[in-house]
Amino acid sequence: MLKMTIKTFYIGCLVVSAGIAVAALSSRKPLAEPPTPAYCKEGGNWLSLSTTPPKPASIQEIVAHAAKQDVVLLGEQHDLEDHHRWQLQTLSALHAQRPNMVIGFEMFPRRVQPVLDQWVAGSLTTQEFLKQAEWDKVWSFPPHIYMPLFEFARINRIPVRALNVDKKLTRMVAEKGWENVPEEAREGIGSPAPALPEYSEFLREMYKMHEKTSGAQAAKKGASTDAGFKGFVDSQLTWDRAMAEALSLAVSQDGRKNPPLVVGVMGSGHIRYGHGVPHQLSSLGVAKVASLLPVALEGECIHLEAGLASAVFTLPNKAMPPNEPPRLGVVLEDATQGLQISTVSTGSLAEKTGLRAGDRIVDIAGRPASGSGDAVAIIRRQPPGTWLPLRIARGDSQLDLVIQFPPRP
């Protein structure tokens, strides 16, 4: 059984917060927690994972090693502000060593690259940047926790690269399989390297959990041969491959004698154990890669082992902010008239309101639903305890529903 501690892993709309080992996802009785090592009792420490157990290291040692690589991958749990503060600190230290730098972000699909170029050039205000980059549509996590990273790139005139692809492509791959997606729809992405066996095993567990959280039937035994699971894996590999290709291109672009240090900012699940983006980079001939991850002191820290990453930084556990902007729990797609709901998460506010997959949102608070980005922004601005009326089209009928946002705890 693959020994991998999952803190949070994002695959498309899937969010898994487990804090448990994959082995514990089976029916076996979980093993007793090992004693807490000294390096897991205080946050703010770097640990080298060249050996098991890890070795404490200074930031100077970690950064000196990372700065000698072609690519450095910085992981994150998307909604934790401390992770982004750590990323900023690490970027600053790397930039001091290698000022010739390029930063790639998972958050942006390639089609918004011109907007990123304008941002770095200083041609856009923050509001213009977020709107033109379609932030609420393509990512939707609170922008203020990412803005210091974007501002760092802008202040230092560091080129920024969009690493991701359009969600339409990953959905198409998930539904049809990579080989059945027309070449013209692949956004120039090459065929991904096959998943390593350990990665496939990990993704199988994620697929089973996704089936449960999405309200679908649990994945059948032997799901590795199931068409749904294959599409799930193909979609993840497409995502990994797209980011790897963008990073690889930045390394080799123009054949310069003084190539930049290319830094990729992305979810930790794409980095762990070298299975996702690092594996795809290796298949592209990029071997000099350092992977750096933030880890929580409790739970995750005590399970650290060689191979998880090049090094990790320990962060104290913090409670989530109590007033996180509300989420409806749907996947929206722009339609000719209104917004099409393609997915409704089990237990979500949308399900409690009575929304269903296939519904089309026509009006929001009496105004025409004109774009998924605007709809997300409206929802996230709603104060606790308020109501938001919707008019939806379901088949040949139109229904009026009211979203009742929970009051403040």
136-152 residue pLDDT tens: 889 989 999 999 999 99
β-strands 387-394, 397-404: how paired? antiparallel
CA torsion sign for 117, 281, 174, 357 is negative
107-144 residue pLDDT tens: 999 999 999 999 999 999 999 999 999 998 899 899 99
Number of independent structural domains in the chain = 2
Q: Are residues 357 and 308 in the same domain?
A: no
Quote the pLDDT of residue 18: 33
Q: What backbone phi and psi angles, to 5 degrees, belong to 89?
A: -60, -45
CA–CA gap between residue 101 and residue 153 (Å, rounded):
9
pLDDT greater than 80 at residue 224: no
Contacts of 362 (CB under 8 A, 6+ apart): 337, 338, 368, 369, 391, 392, 393, 398
Residue in 96, 72, 63 with CA at minimum distance from that of residue 265: 72
Is residue 321 a part of any domain in this protein? no
CATH of the domain at 41: 3.40.50.11550
Domain limits at 175?
5-315
Q: Are residues 284 and 337 in the same domain?
A: no
Q: Residue 195 carries which DSSP code?
A: P
Is residue 235 a part of any domain in this protein? yes
Is residue 324 a part of any domain in this protein? no
Q: Are residues 389 and 243 in the same domain?
A: no
Q: Which of 21-30, 51-60, 238-247, 336-345 has the highest mean pLDDT?
A: 238-247
288-335 residue pLDDT tens: 999 999 999 887 888 899 999 999 999 987 654 545 667 888 888 888
Is residue 366 a part of any domain in this protein? yes
Q: Which of 30-39, 181-190, 201-210, 330-339 has the highest mean pLDDT?
A: 181-190
Q: Rg (Cα) of the chain, in Å, rounded?
A: 22
Contacts of 109 (CB under 8 A, 6+ apart): 138, 162, 164, 165, 166, 167
Is residue 41 a part of any domain in this protein? yes
- Tell me if 270 sits within 8 A of 211, measured CB to CB: no
H helix or E strand, kind and range, residue 74: strand 71-74
Q: Are residues 278 and 345 in the same domain?
A: no
The C-alpha angle with vertex 306 and arms to 303 and 310, in degrees rounded to 5, equals 110
- Tell me if 292 sits within 8 A of 278, measured CB to CB: no
CATH of the domain at 341: 2.30.42.10
Q: Are residues 303 and 348 in the same domain?
A: no
Q: Are residues 46 and 179 in the same domain?
A: yes
Q: Are residues 61 and 99 in the same domain?
A: yes
- Is pTM, for the whole model, over 0.95? no
Q: Is 330 left (phi over 0), alpha (psi -120 to 50) or beta?
A: beta
What 3-state class would DSSP assign to 18? strand
Quote the pLDDT of residue 404: 87
Q: What is the mean pLDDT of residues 175-193?
A: 94
**DSSP E strand boundaries for 100-139:** 101-109
Q: Are residues 34 and 158 in the same domain?
A: yes
Confidence of residue 73 (pLDDT cuts 50, 70, 90): very high
Considering the chain, what percentage of its residues have pLDDT values greater than 70? Answer: 85
Quote the pLDDT of residue 209: 77
pLDDT greater than 80 at residue 193: yes
261-270 residue pLDDT tens: 999 999 999 9
Quote the pLDDT of residue 409: 61
Place of tokens 């040949």: 396
Q: What backbone phi and psi angles, to 5 degrees, belong to 277?
A: -65, -40
1-14 residue pLDDT tens: 344 443 333 333 34
Which of 315, 348, 366 is the last residue before a domain boundary? 315
Integer angstrom CA distances of residue 95 from 7, 90, 286: 28, 8, 20
Place of tokens 């305890």: 385
Quote the pLDDT of residue 11: 39
Helix 227-252, helix 197-213: angle, nearest 10: 120
